[in-house]
Amino acid sequence: MTERNVDILIVGAGPAGLAAAIAAHEEHVGSVLVIEREKEPGGILRQCIHNGFGLHRFKEELTGPEYAQKDIDRIHELGIPVECSTTVLSVSRDKSVTCVSSENGLQLIHAKAVILAMGCRERPRGALCTPGTRCAGIFSAGTAQRFVNLEGFMPGRRVVILGSGDIGLIMARRMTLQGAKVLACVEIMPYSSGLNRNIVQCLQDYNIPLYLSHTVTDIRGRERLEGITVSRVDDHRKPVPGTEMDFDCDTLLLSCGLIPENELTKGAGIDISAVTSGAVVDDMLQTSIPGIFACGNVLHVHDLVDHVSDESFRAGRAAADYIRTGFVSPEYISVLDGSGVRGTVPQKIRIPADNPVTLSFRPADVFRGSSVVVECGGKELLRKKALIFTPGEMVHIVLQPGLLHDLPSDSIIVRLERN
């Protein structure tokens, strides 16, 4: 067992961890180390071989591996160490991280600051309580994506996709291009949470029907999947008897939501938000433990990796700042979800505010011709119109520090208002 010290330790070398590492290093406050459980850095981007990444950040549309490589190249240029094939087992309150690898055995690393960037996992079938048999052939969409794009194996031939989020839509196209037959995409909500471009380019282009307000109500097959039943659902998302459709398929891909992977976070005793399933953080992305920060999908599930990078740069700078200036117990104002808004991050803001604060949230529903309103004690701080707000697109708004001076109350509310 070896013990060592680093200044800033980052858990995860996906897009969040890599960006945080680059930003932290460039502050030159001390040593930076990134720990990654896979054999190579890049995180989930390694298996996202489709394009659509980097339009905001690089002004070009890259594939996932190409986007990741830009940060990986920069990491190498800067000489930041990344230890791969190393799994973190625990993070303690006093910022000691226990990890294991075949090469280096058990390590106990004492850090001055820790940045959590573990990403997220997929919701499995059990969480849906779908009845039927427990046959082979049921995969979460990401696991299927890994098999195809990183391992070179096809999970099945005749496919139904449950969930029309972007991962499900992308896999509909991927399975079709690579030689499988995709029979349908089934979505329990009356709208898809995926981008319109993906509905067109992944479903319509290949004549794959999209069944909104439907769900899978039975799974059949003793050993390998043989078929499923799909039913329409009512306004309470309960199946409507008599609307059953049977599909003859050997593969069911589940794209039913992403859950931030916060086991290490909980183990450290950090406060978790029940809404985002990520850590409760302030505007410096610091969690309830001073010196421990969180960014990327582990904090809240993003839809554009460009915003993950932005957020993670801020976390890296914040961790460096923490080391430079130490922890000064601040006063906070709370940030609350108002009507139409879910999961605003950060949940609190330090005052006095010196820097712009980025607020991110998801609309609770589809809002056309609406405005986002930020108010405090009845006083409107900011109002911003948009043609559309949709649950599939995280909203990011920046509050200039001047707006946060002389506030009438100690909480601000973010809400959506129809014009």
Partner 1 sequence: MEQSITCINCPVGCRMTVVLSDTGGFESVSGNTCPRGAAYARQECTLPERMVTAVIPVSGSAIPLSVKTSKPVPKDMIPAVMGELSRVCISVPVSLGQVIIPDILHTGSDIVATRSLK
Partner 2 sequence: MSYQADILVIGAGITGCAVARELSRYNASVTVLEGAYDIAEGATKANSGIVHAGYDARPGTKKALYNIRGAAMYESLCASLHVPYRRNGALVIALNDNDIPAVEALKSRGLENGVENLEILDHDAVLSLEPNISPEVRCALHIPGSAVISPYETAFALADHAAVNGVSFRFDETVLSAEHLPDGCFSVKTNHDTYTCRVLVNCAGASGADIHNQLSEQKLTMIHRRGQYYLLDRETVPAFSHTIFQCPSPMGKGVLVSPTVHGNLLLGPTAEDITDPSDTATTAAGLDEVIRKAAMTWPRLSVRSNITNFSGIRAHLTTDDFVIGPCEDCPGLFEAIGIESPGLSSAPAVGQDLAEMIARYLNLAFRDPFLDCPEKPRPFNEMTDAEKAEAISSDPSYGNIICRCEVVTEAEIRAAVHRPVGARSVDGVKRRTRAGMGRCQGGFCMPRVAEIISAETGLPLDKVTKNGGNSYILAGTVDSFLKEETVHD
Its sign, for the CA torsion 150, 153, 157, 162, is negative
Q: Where are the alpha helices (DSSP H) in 295-349?
A: 305-325
Strand duo 96-101 + 62-63: pairing: unpaired
Residue with smaller CB distance to partner 1, 25 or 174: 174
Could you say whether residue 393 binds partner 1 (CB under 8 A)?
yes
Q: Which does 316 bind (CB under 5 to 8 A by kind): partner 2, partner 1, none?
A: none
Which residues 36-95 are close enough to bind partner 1 by CB under 8 A?
46, 49-51, 61, 63, 65-66, 69
Residue 181 Cβ vs partner 2, minimum distance, rounded to whole Å = 8
Which residues 162-201 are close enough to bind partner 1 by CB under 8 A?
177-178, 195-197, 199-201
Q: Cis link prior to 81 (omega < 30° from 0)?
A: no
Q: Taking each helix axis from N to C terminus, what angle separates 15-25 and 305-325, rounded to the nearest 10 degrees? A: 40
Give the alpha-carbon dihedral of 218, 221, 226, 228, to 10 degrees: 0
Please identify which residue in 28, 77, 103, 152 interacts with partner 1, judged by CB under 8 A.
152
CA 40 remoteness from chain centre: 20
Q: Which does 334 bind (CB under 5 to 8 A by kind): partner 2, partner 1, none?
A: none
Q: Which does 200 bind (CB under 5 to 8 A by kind): partner 2, partner 1, none?
A: partner 1
Q: Which does 37 bind (CB under 5 to 8 A by kind): partner 1, partner 2, none?
A: partner 2
Residue 296 Cβ vs partner 1, minimum distance, rounded to whole Å = 21
Strand duo 138-140 + 245-248: pairing: unpaired
Under 8 Å between Cβ of 122 and 148: no
Q: Which does 348 bind (CB under 5 to 8 A by kind): partner 1, partner 2, none?
A: none
Residue 126 Cβ vs partner 2, minimum distance, rounded to whole Å = 4
Please identify which residue in 77, 103, 129, 151 interacts with partner 1, judged by CB under 8 A.
151
Q: Which does 275 bind (CB under 5 to 8 A by kind): partner 2, partner 1, none?
A: none
Q: Token pair of 117, please?
A: 């960037």
Q: Which does 197 bind (CB under 5 to 8 A by kind): partner 2, partner 1, none?
A: partner 1
Distance CA 384, CA 386 (A): 7
Residues at the interface with partner 2 (CB under 8 A): 1, 37, 85, 87, 89, 98, 100-106, 108, 121-122, 124-127, 129, 131-136, 140, 142-143, 146-148, 151-157, 178-181, 217-220, 222-224, 239, 250-251, 263, 266
Q: Token pair of 394, please?
A: 């995280």
Its sign, for the CA torsion 413, 416, 417, 419, is positive
Residues 61, 62, 65, CA angle at the centre, nearest 5°? 165
Q: Which does 102 bind (CB under 5 to 8 A by kind): partner 1, partner 2, none?
A: partner 2
Residue with smaller CB distance to partner 2, 101 or 243: 101
Under 8 Å between Cβ of 290 and 322: yes
Instruction: Walk across the sheet containing 357-363 and list its strands.
Output: 341-345, 357-363, 395-399
- Helix/strand/coil (H, E, C) string of 356-400? CEEEEEEECCCEEEEEEEEEECCEEEEEEEEEEECCCCCEEEEEC
Residue with smaller CB distance to partner 1, 21 or 148: 148
Total of chain residues touching partner 1, rule CB under 8 A: 28
Q: How many residues does the chain have?
A: 419
Residue 196 Cβ vs partner 1, minimum distance, rounded to whole Å = 4
Please identify which residue in 3, 60, 94, 205 interacts with partner 1, judged by CB under 8 A.
205
Contacts to partner 1 by CB under 8 A:
46, 49-51, 61, 63, 65-66, 69, 148-152, 177-178, 195-197, 199-201, 205, 387-388, 390, 392-393
